[in-house]
Amino acid sequence: MPEYSEKSRRELNACHEDLQKLFYFVIQHFDCSVIEDHRNKERQNLAYRAGNTKLEYPHSKHNQTPSLAVDVIPYPVDWTDLKRMYYFAGFVMATAVAMNIPLRWGGDWDRDTEVIDNRFNDLCHFELM
């Protein structure tokens, strides 16, 4: 059974307990890696300037303590494998529904289940509603 690395565990443990509950279940079925949890002001604004987020500090759910957002990618990490990221997100979203955890994914911000209308793709981003 896949397990998180120490770094992934540390990042996940800084997240809201619902995100922890969800992603500790997910990894039992789909190997993945936690990329980012809480972002302080410096890291958020760095991400903003790099174009990785549309939000400046403190408006991202990554800026809350505990973090209400987490970035998770299938393992082994391959940023070019978009199909696998969509597959993973579908698995995560369905699991969240089953666990009664209201979740939004960065590939479908308006939560209409369509991805073609998504203007800003952040395919590894999951946040609590």
Residues in contact with Zn ion by CB under 5 A are 71, 125
Give min distance, CB of 70 to Zn ion, in A.
7
Q: For Zn ion, give the closer residue by CB, 4 or 53.
A: 53
> Among residues 11 and 71, whose Cβ is nearest to Zn ion?
71
Closest to Zn ion by CB, 1 or 14? 14
Of 9 and 43, nearer to Zn ion (C-beta) is 43
Q: Are 123 and 129 in contact (CB under 8 A)?
A: no
The residue number whose beta carbon is nearest to Zn ion equals 125
Q: Give the nearest distance from C-beta 1 to Zn ion in angstroms.
A: 26
Q: Where are the beta strands (DSSP E) in 6-121?
A: 32-36, 69-74, 103-106
Sequence-distant (6+) residues with CB within 8 A of 18 are 101, 128
Question: In the bound complex, what is the minimum distance in angstroms from residue 36's beta carbon to Zn ion?
Answer: 6
Least Cβ distance, residue 62 to Zn ion (angstroms)? 6
Paired strand residues for 33:
73
51 contacts: CB under 8 Å, gap ≥ 6 = none
CB atoms within 10 A of CB 90: 12
